[in-house]
Amino acid sequence: MAGIDGLIKQGESEKLEFKKSLAEREEILRTITAFSNTSGGTIIIGIDERKNIIGIKPEKGEIEGLDNSINQLIVPKVYPDFQLILSLV
């Protein structure tokens, strides 16, 4: 978890974006497209504008739905690496 904390402290950049929730699907897809047209990047979902960790509770099928949107809407195909980090904090 220290790695995530370090990224959050760094703040957003050309290779790092924060999104508050999975409901920001359009913005997430735009960011994935932008990252795929450069040298890649990281999106951390569950961080607010003030860099506070708010976390998310994905509904059943929500991650799969995002993955399907990525596969259907982004051309050429990209294959993001999803990592779910669980915390009891």
Write the pLDDT tens digit of every residue in 33-84: 999 999 899 999 999 989 999 999 989 999 999 999 999 999 999 998 888 8
Place of tokens 């924060």: 18
Q: 44 burial class (0-12, 13-18, 19+ CB within 10 angstroms)?
A: middle
Cα gap 46→57, rounded to integer Å? 9
Q: Is the confidence at residue 88, as pLDDT, over 60?
A: no
- At 73, the amino acid letter reads L
| pLDDT-based confidence at residue 1 (cuts at 50, 70, 90) | very low
What pLDDT, on a 0 to 100 scale, did the predictor assign at position 82?
85
Q: How distant, in Å, are the alpha carbons of 7, 37, 43, 66, 72 from that of 13?
A: 10, 15, 11, 23, 27
